[in-house]
Amino acid sequence: MTSAERLHAFGDDALGHDDATGVAARIASGEITAAEAVEAAIHRIAQVNPTLNAQAFDDYARARARASRLNRPRGAFGGVPSGLKNNVHIQGMPLTFGSKAMPTSPKTRNGAFVEQFLSTGTIPICTTQTPEFGWTATTERLGGDVTRNPWNPQYSPGGSSGGTAALVAAGALPFAHGNDGGGSIRIPAAACGLVGLKPSRGRTGGDPISARMPVDLVSHGVLTRSVRDTARFFHALEAVYPAPKLARIGLAEHPPTRPLRIGLLIDSPSAPNPTDAETRRVVEATARTLTQAGHTVVDYTPSLSHSFRRDFEDYWSLLAFTIATQGRRLFGPEFRTSGLDPFTLGLSRRFLRRSPRIPLVVARLAASRLAFDREIRRQMDLLLSPVLCHTTPLIGHLSADQPFEQHFERLIAYVGFTPLHNATGAPAISLPVGLSSDGLPIGVMLSSRVGHERTLLEIGFELEEAMPFPRIDA
């Protein structure tokens, strides 16, 4: 797709071509007002959303009111417009998790992470689309209700934070919230040419449903167009949520000051197929760049249990079974099981076939954190891999309307790298260092030990300089 055919809303309004840090600086200096920034974002969403279908619910009236009252912006992103994914509690907003099974009544309080997000000074203006309960790696819902990729609207934006990714990549929002229980920040970041850091388990406020489960897979963060935006966001969160069990990140601003030992993993031991040629090319180019920068890059395969993929799939099925059978208890009497899509129901049925294994599955997944941490500590600083096994698929490849078994097989062939970090709680970052022959973004992933987000951000700064990230508005 040529640059003229890409769909974006960048222009000469109050938001300009700046990242969130740039917009915040212009608001703080008085060059623009928060009200002007919010109005520009609302106008930009109106430009792109009829095609992208990336916004779930708007919160424009409250956003305008907040911006008009903001005389002295405070926080790292004071007055900067943003969005929150449609799977967190926001006072006064519907919460549907992308599902027709859910009621649309507004919530009465903010969730823990939403309070942290607001503490950065940002003004959320909408919620963003997600597939049903975030189960899959696209953002497509029943009946052709799909969210599209601004780099080429015929393609998927990834998932499950695909609505966020589409709006940020298109320039409609400077940054926005995502969360990640199997790759849901990193996958859409890779598909839409963004930076996406899944932080360590416990770095941010918890997900209320996942936190009740025996293994908490979900971490919250943001999708951004620059490494500095991601670094500033997590530094700002530490002021209100210091995560005492983890090393502080601080404000990362520069590349690493010492050479690192980096393991290179190109084919996932958890995937049924090898990584495709285009993705392999980008990962190998990244490895060469890191070597030229003075780092040591060596081939490496983590010593995963041979059962890791099946264990993660079985646990994933347990989560779907919990939603399908306990939805009324979790979400209230208006929850309708009949509204669930075939993938959720198929995962739930799969659990019934696999349920005798669950105690052992939980034990192995719970033990994976320490095993992975010890292995990385002994052998390397970082692990470099693809984010995904192949390039971004066309809309429909992971359609919510297709038979469960077909959807499941296609998903497993696509998502072979990201679940490891959800099971182990380790941090991982997706960086948009390349393009496919069709002009679609390709991301690479770097991961490290629990608590070592700073190293990932520092290597992100280095790669952002050495391999400038493609811009949709170029």
Cα gap 311→317, rounded to integer Å: 10
Cα gap 252→263, rounded to integer Å: 22
**pLDDT averaged over every residue in the chain:** 96
Q: In terms of DSSP H, where are the helices of 124-207? A: 162-169, 186-192
DSSP β-ladder status, 382-386 and 296-299:
unpaired
3-state SS of 353-414 is: HHHHHHHHHHHHHHHHHHHHHHHHHHHCCEEEEECCCCCCCECCCCCCCCCHHHHHHHHHHH
Among 184, 200, 399, 448, the active-site one is 184
Does 4 have pLDDT greater than 60? no
Does 1 have pLDDT greater than 60? no
Cα gap 174→170, rounded to integer Å: 9
Cα gap 210→220, rounded to integer Å: 12
Compare 379 and 275 and report the one with higher pLDDT.
275
- The first and second tokens of residue 22, run together, are 């740039």
Asked if residues 230 and 176 have their Cβ atoms less than 8 Å apart, the reply is no
Model pLDDT, residue 207: 67
The residue type of 174 is P
Asked if residues 205 and 220 have their Cβ atoms less than 8 Å apart, the reply is yes
- Averaged over 243-253, what is the pLDDT? 96
Asked if residues 196 and 188 have their Cβ atoms less than 8 Å apart, the reply is yes
99 in active site: no
Among 99, 160, 219, 448, the active-site one is 160
270 in active site: no
Cα gap 79→70, rounded to integer Å: 7
Asked if residues 45 and 172 have their Cβ atoms less than 8 Å apart, the reply is yes
- Averaged over 101-117, what is the pLDDT? 96
Q: Cis omega before residue 270 (within 30°)? A: no
Task: Measure the N-to-C terminal CA separation of the chain; round to a whole number of Å.
Answer: 13
Q: Classify burial at 215, counting beta carbons within 10 Å of its beta carbon; exposed 0-12, middle 13-18, buried 19 or more.
A: buried
- At 299-336, the pLDDT tens digits run 998 887 778 999 999 999 999 999 999 999 999 999 99
Model pLDDT, residue 317: 96
- The first and second tokens of residue 247, run together, are 């090393």
DSSP 126: E
Cα gap 268→385, rounded to integer Å: 9
Cα gap 461→451, rounded to integer Å: 18
CA distances from 33 to 1, 66, 71 (A): 36, 12, 9
Residue 183, sorted as left (phi over 0), alpha (psi -120 to 50) or beta, turns out to be left
- Averaged over 139-151, what is the pLDDT? 97
Report helix, strand or coil for 464: helix
Report helix, strand or coil for 94: strand
- Averaged over 240-247, what is the pLDDT? 93
CB atoms within 10 A of CB 213: 15
Does 85 have pLDDT greater than 80? yes
HSE, side-chain direction, 13 A CA sphere, residue 337? 14
Cα R_g (the chain), whole angstroms: 20
Does 3 have pLDDT greater than 70? no
- At 172-231, the pLDDT tens digits run 999 999 999 999 999 999 999 999 999 999 999 876 677 778 899 999 999 999 999 999
Nearest residue to 181 via CA among 199, 165, 168, 157: 199
pTM for the whole structure = 0.97
Q: How confident is the model at residue 119 (pLDDT cuts 50, 70, 90)?
A: very high
What is the biggest distance separating any 2 CA atoms in the chain, rounded to whole angstroms?
A: 62
DSSP 132: G
What are the DSSP calls for 223-264, one per residue? EESSHHHHHHHHHHHHHH---TTS-------S--SS--EEEE
The pLDDT > 90 percentage for the chain reads 91
- The first and second tokens of residue 295, run together, are 């780092």
Least confident of 304-308, 414-418, 462-466: 304-308
Does 265 have pLDDT greater than 70? yes
Cα gap 256→456, rounded to integer Å: 9
Cα gap 17→237, rounded to integer Å: 25
Handedness of CA 186, 187, 188, 193 (dihedral sign): positive
Does 154 have pLDDT greater than 90? yes
- The first and second tokens of residue 312, run together, are 């993660």
- The first and second tokens of residue 268, run together, are 């996932």
Asked if residues 196 and 229 have their Cβ atoms less than 8 Å apart, the reply is no
Q: Which domains are seen in the chain, by residue range?
A: 20-466 (3.90.1300.10)
Least confident of 276-290, 295-309, 334-348: 295-309
368 in active site: no
